[in-house]
Amino acid sequence: MTELLNQLERVMPTEIKGRVARTVGMAIHVNGFPAPLGATAMIQRETGSPLFVEVVGIQENTTIVSPLGSTTGVRRGDQVRLVKTGRWIRVGDGLLGRVVNAFGEVIDGHPASTLNRRTDLDSPPPSAVNRPRISEILPTGVRVMDAMLTCGRGQRMGVFAGSGVGKSVLLGMMARYTGADVSVIALIGERGREVNEFIENELGEEGLKRSVVVVATSDEPAQVRVRAAMAATAIAESFRARGQHVLLLMDSLTRFAQAQREIGLAAGEPPATRGYPPSVFAALPKLVERAGCTKQGSITGFYSVLVEADDPQEPIADAVRGLLDGHTWLSRGLASRGHYPAVDVLESLSRLMPQITTPEHLAAARRIREILAAYRDHEDLISIGAYRPGANTTVDVAIAARDQINAFLQQAPEQNSGGQQGIAQLIQLANVCQLPTGVNPAVQAGAHQGVSATPRPTVATNQ
């Protein structure tokens, strides 16, 4: 009943019509058409089928609309008619195992499912004060993620990567092996060739059974790509409202931002940081804040960020890193050496890991990080043979355990070894990599650098 009342509030009791005045790039300017922002309208072309558009801006007496299809055949004077003022999508269990477009229409060639419920595309995020604290681990099935970058139910993580470093494979592994009830996968701005490849090779038949795949390829209008990201989030919200734990995988958030940039510039916004208008940086938090925990269920979000020129400081990567609860960095250097998943542990972080892991697990992860950092700091000396064994015990351990650690951090796509199994392996590995009893690496490092490093005696005190 509440949903019906909300829809009735947005109904406009009078018919609204206008005429196409001109086009500027991909924006269409309409005269005499006072429709609200976000409304859907229809342009009746002289030839061919009608073109559906969405209102994205208002300039003086002109309404700016963005096309949801090809603009071929649109001409000045074509009639524009308001269709609906709200944006919604049909949802239900019938979406599981299906591939849909930005409008929720099935595109996998099978008969459409019966969906009796619908939800808004523009639902507000859960209230900040009503969000439960994140306290449970969500297994992803990827060992390096579950052990070294542990994620909680309702957390939002970024997967930062350049092109061709295994981002899609990593997301496919998560979708197949996750401990969530449902996976919602948004493929935004992907190449058309890659959609079936992802579904058949990375997701697989078993992964698809409990997943919903939302697709908007790179050749579709910018408004459709933006709408696809919102549709995937709305579908995830509908499952969360029914008490389920959802894994939302969005590939990629960068292409969502690029589509929003196209819309903003076409609507007349001034470009700001590297050509991105302010509306892009306003849209990003509105989208990612919709994920998270509620009293009914949770949405755990993994958002891939395509980093231009492998530059972690480019505007979208920098903005998203501050919005999310952690980031996973995929390294081109690791990928070029055949190290998959190409996760650079030292450059990655899960902000909630200390809150949701046991002390033993956290200590083991920190120990492996310490060893990896020690090896990286001395890698140049080691590679040219200038490092003297015994100069730093931590580096000695790092050299001896390098193969074991690398084997632990790697995983074949068809292998599910995350969760508690991966955590147990991490603790075992950290125990193997402990320093000999009584050795202080800081003391050895100071002595190696010619600094006086006499250890202070331990004094027992009575409290």
Tell me the C-alpha distance between 198 and 391, whole Å: 48
Quick check: is 190 catalytic? yes
Among the listed residues 167, 225, 227, 367, the single catalytic one is 167
The rounded Cα 359 to chain-centroid distance in angstroms is 28
Number of alpha carbons in the 13 Å side-chain half-sphere of residue 162:
13
Tell me the C-alpha distance between 29 and 362, whole Å: 57
Q: Are the CB atoms for 326 and 155 separated by under 8 Å?
A: yes
Among the listed residues 98, 156, 176, 190, the single catalytic one is 190
Quick check: is 308 catalytic? no
- Measured on CA atoms in the order 365, 369, 372, 378, is the torsion positive or negative? negative
Tell me the C-alpha distance between 218 and 194, whole Å: 11
C-alpha separations of 76 from 36, 46, 55 in Å: 22, 11, 18
Using omega within 30 degrees of 0 as the cis cutoff, is the peptide bond preceding 441 cis?
no
C-alpha separations of 413 from 93, 163, 172, 276, 404 in Å: 28, 18, 8, 36, 19
Tell me the C-alpha distance between 118 and 5, whole Å: 13
Quick check: is 220 catalytic? no
Tell me the C-alpha distance between 286 and 291, whole Å: 10
Among the listed residues 22, 75, 133, 191, the single catalytic one is 191
Residues with a catalytic annotation lie at 167, 190-191
